[in-house]
Amino acid sequence: MRVTKFAASAIAVVACGSAAVAVAGPSLAAVNAPDPDMSVVVPPAAVPKTAATQQQLDAVGQLGEALTLFSRIGKEAQSKTPDVDALKEMQQRLQSATGRLGDSLRQYPPGSRGRPATDPVGDVQDLLRKLGAAVHKLVGAAARNDAAGVQTAINEALSVVKDLLAKLPLAGGGMPLPTPLPL
């Protein structure tokens, strides 16, 4: 059987086209397929967007940032040769994060937006100050290469963090978390 140049070119084009469709076919088919998440539509009225929820989300974000920074400060302070400049920079970032956390809690004072009159925001502010003081001791002890002072400051700060987690109003209705969280 004799194949002409035209027939060979046509066969090559068909083969390449088949290979391209075999490779790209599933993704091309998925482009026009309905999104499985779109089958369940939640009406906008069913999603509550309250100021208290937004405040709680802000508080969780700021708390997460503060705890992460505290963890990094503690680990750096326990290293054999702590970088004091990095510790001081992280300490400033921690102070900024705890300040934002305190601000997010102050936006909704007790008795407003469904919060009870026995709001622990004042206690949280005191605990944030204690955490700042403990971290200040920690950085100072690390700068002096005082291993015992570093460990004492870390233990003090961890105690403050446990109290902070117990008092922070993050549960529904602005109440503190119901169970103490283990650290």
Element (H, E) at 165: helix 147-167
Q: pLDDT grade, residue 105 (50/70/90)? A: confident
35-38 long-range contacts, CB within 8 A, separation 24+ = none
Instruction: Give the model's pLDDT for residue 78.
Output: 92
At position 124, the amino acid (one-letter code) is V
Mean pLDDT over all residues of the chain?
Answer: 74
Instruction: Give the model's pLDDT for residue 17.
Output: 61
At position 10, the amino acid (one-letter code) is A
Q: State the Cα–Cα distance between residues 177 and 168, nearest whole angstrom.
A: 7
Instruction: Give the model's pLDDT for residue 27.
Output: 58
Q: State the Cα–Cα distance between residues 14 and 6, nearest whole angstrom.
A: 12
- pTM reported for the whole predicted model: 0.60
The residues spanned by each domain of the chain are 51-174
Instruction: Give the model's pLDDT for residue 88.
Output: 93
Average pLDDT, integer, range 62-85: 90
Sign of CA dihedral 94, 96, 97, 98: positive
Residues 149-168: pLDDT tens digits? 999 999 999 999 998 888 77
The residue among 67 and 41 whose pLDDT is bigger is 67
Neighbours of 169 (CB within 10 A): 24
Pick the CATH number of 51-174 from 1.20.120.290, 3.40.50.1820, 3.20.20.70, 1.10.10.10: 1.20.120.290
